[in-house]
């Protein structure tokens, strides 16, 4: 699993990631979040990119929170379906600090894909890279 908490980590990951859809999504979201120039990435967001064998439980461990309540209610804000990946958005603190989990459609564990497929909404055309 790739956990990118700092801008240099994001840059290094984008240079080596073979999934160009994921790279484009990271680039777009990073640019959108950094547009105000008043906050650093570390104050706003971190990116999580699961690898093929990473499960829901492993994503929960990285986030420090379950993905659903005990009653099964989702704790994510939205799961958007893009051409090559799913984007799961989590707001983790009252200040708005959050995580973006990017799940590749081609190379992800079946439990993550099943979760995303079951709950995803189609991304707005202007929101896709």
Domain range for 17: 2-127
pLDDT at residue 35 tops 90: no
Q: Provide the percentage of residues in the chain whose pLDDT is more than 70.
A: 95
- pTM of the predicted model, to two decimals? 0.88
For the chain, what is the domain count? 1
- Determine which of 5-19, 21-35, 89-103, 109-123 has the lowest per-residue pLDDT on average: 21-35
Burial zone of 112 (CB within 10 Å; 0-12 exposed, 13-18 middle, 19+ buried): buried
pLDDT in tens, 67-111: 999 998 999 999 999 999 999 999 998 888 899 999 999 889 999
Residue 117's CB is within 10 A of a number of other CB atoms, namely 14
């Amino acid at each position: 699993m790739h956990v990118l908490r700092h801008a240099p980590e994001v840059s290094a990951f984008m240079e080596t990631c073979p999934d160009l859809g994921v790279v484009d999504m990271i680039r777009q979201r990073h640019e959108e979040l950094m547009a105000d120039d008043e906050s650093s990435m570390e104050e706003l967001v971190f990116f999580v990119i699961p690898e093929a064998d990473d499960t829901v439980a492993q994503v929960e461990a990285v986030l420090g929170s379950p993905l659903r309540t005990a009653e099964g209610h989702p704790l994510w804000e939205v799961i958007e379906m893009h051409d090559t990946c799913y984007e799961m958005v989590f707001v983790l603190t009252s200040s708005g600090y959050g995580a973006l989990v990017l799940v590749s459609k081609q190379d992800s564990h079946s439990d993550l894909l099943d979760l995303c497929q079951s709950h995803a909404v189609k991304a707005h055309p202007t929101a896709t890279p």
